[in-house]
């Protein structure tokens, strides 16, 4: 693999996180990563993406994230300018050049734009963008200790018949509306329901409920999250029954424990849903077992891919 070169073009005075982006065959600082206003990814949210995290110098379940990204690109009838091996090299290089040990690493394919400004999406030149920035979390340090407070929104999640939720996308206006509703109610995050009143997901996370030692997670209207699947895999390893099925709001509110899963921070417990306080605002026993094993897996050679840092 040829050693990549980090290009510098101009300085932007606005604050940007430390990190490195890949665009148009070059590696550049994050503050120099720009996209055309004519790109369909910007104009029409015509894009797909995926996010893998790096922890202590290694990617976690990289193959799963790349699999999903490539599947999403294919479903949207897009074409990447690189093969899988080169894509993985680019992700390694973004983290390696950034020097970050713990990183949030995103890969994006936009529809791009047409050289003739055609309105036909088949005429657009698809574009690959990748970047690595410091790893963040759905919950801040205080929220991780005492649990998140979540409000169930009256906003209905975009129906899967309209937008396939298994394709990771930027269609977030329903989620953003739910967030503002949650803030108005004194909560910190939100959950949306489907047209039948079943719990779906929140902004950037899947949700789990625990009742009588059994773990439940919604079966439809949600992104099939890699961290969600990791939780399902860990439940099997721990001998915990995990059911993937519809999760009516009333059942959800009667849960013993609630927790979410996200690439941004892994499993996080929820201590309050609407006005219901769970586990006296402490992490529940089922969640704690899953969380402990999740982080143990970050040292398991079968689950991680060490990053190629420059010597």
Q: Are strands 268-273 and 148-156 parallel, antiparallel or unpaired?
A: parallel
State residue 220's pLDDT score: 92
Backbone angles phi, psi at 215, to 5 degrees: -100, 135
Other C-beta atoms closer than 10 Å to the C-beta of 159 total 12
State residue 7's pLDDT score: 83
Cα separation, 197 vs 264, in Å, equals: 27
Rg of the chain, C-alpha, whole Å? 20
State residue 309's pLDDT score: 85
Consecutive 10-residue averages of pLDDT for the chain (311 residues): 77 82 96 94 97 98 98 98 97 97 98 94 97 96 95 96 95 97 97 97 98 97 97 98 97 96 97 93 96 98 92 49
Q: For 270-300, b where at least 16 C-beta lie within 10 A, e where not — what string?
A: bbbbeeeebbeeebbebbeebbebbeebbee
The residues facing 129 across adjacent strands are: 23, 108
Closest to 129 in 3D by CA, of 78, 54, 163, 183? 78
Cα separation, 148 vs 187, in Å, equals: 8
| CATH 3.20.10.10, the chain: domain bounds | 141-298
| CATH 3.30.470.10, the chain: domain bounds | 20-134
H or E, element range at 294 = helix 285-296
User: For domain 141-298, is the CATH number 3.40.50.1100?
Assistant: no
Q: Are 145 and 207 in contact (CB under 8 A)?
A: no
State residue 16's pLDDT score: 82
Cα separation, 243 vs 55, in Å, equals: 29
Cα separation, 99 vs 112, in Å, equals: 29
State residue 1's pLDDT score: 66
State residue 4's pLDDT score: 87
Q: Are 28 and 6 in contact (CB under 8 A)?
A: yes
State residue 169's pLDDT score: 96
State residue 145's pLDDT score: 94
User: For domain 20-134, is the CATH number 3.30.470.10?
Assistant: yes
pTM over 0.85: yes
State residue 155's pLDDT score: 95
């Amino acid at each position: 693999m040829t050693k990549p070169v980090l290009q510098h073009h101009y300085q932007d005075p606005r604050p940007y996180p430390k990190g490195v982006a890949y665009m148009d065959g070059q590696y550049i600082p994050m503050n120099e990563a720009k996209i055309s206003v004519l790109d369909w990814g910007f104009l029409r949210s015509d894009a797909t993406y995926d996010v893998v995290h790096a922890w202590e110098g290694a990617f976690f379940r990289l193959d799963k994230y790349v699999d999903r990204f490539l599947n999403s690109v294919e479903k949207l009838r897009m074409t990447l300018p690189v093969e899988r091996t080169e894509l993985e090299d680019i992700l390694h290089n973004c983290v390696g050049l950034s020097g970050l040990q713990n990183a949030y690493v995103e890969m994006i394919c936009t529809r791009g734009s047409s050289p003739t400004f055609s309105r036909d999406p088949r005429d657009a030149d698809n574009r690959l963008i990748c970047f690595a920035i410091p790893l963040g979390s759905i919950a801040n340090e205080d929220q991780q200790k005492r649990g998140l407070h979540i409000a169930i929104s009256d906003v209905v999640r975009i129906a899967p018949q309209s937008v396939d939720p298994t394709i990771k996308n930027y269609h977030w206006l329903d989620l953003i509306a739910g967030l503002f509703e949650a803030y108005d109610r004194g909560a910190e995050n939100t959950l949306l329901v489907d047209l039948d009143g079943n719990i779906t997901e929140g902004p950037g996370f899947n949700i789990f409920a625990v009742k009588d030692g059994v773990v439940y997670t919604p079966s439809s209207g949600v992104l099939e999250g890699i961290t969600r699947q990791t939780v399902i895999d860990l439940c099997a390893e721990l001998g915990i029954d995990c059911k993937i099925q519809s999760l009516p709001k009333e059942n959800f509110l009667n849960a013993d424990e609630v927790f979410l899963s996200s690439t941004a921070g892994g499993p996080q417990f929820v201590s309050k849903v609407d006005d219901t306080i769970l586990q006296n605002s402490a992490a529940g026993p089922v969640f704690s077992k899953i969380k402990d094993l999740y982080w143990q897996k970050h040292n398991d050679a079968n689950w991680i891919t060490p990053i190629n840092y420059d010597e």
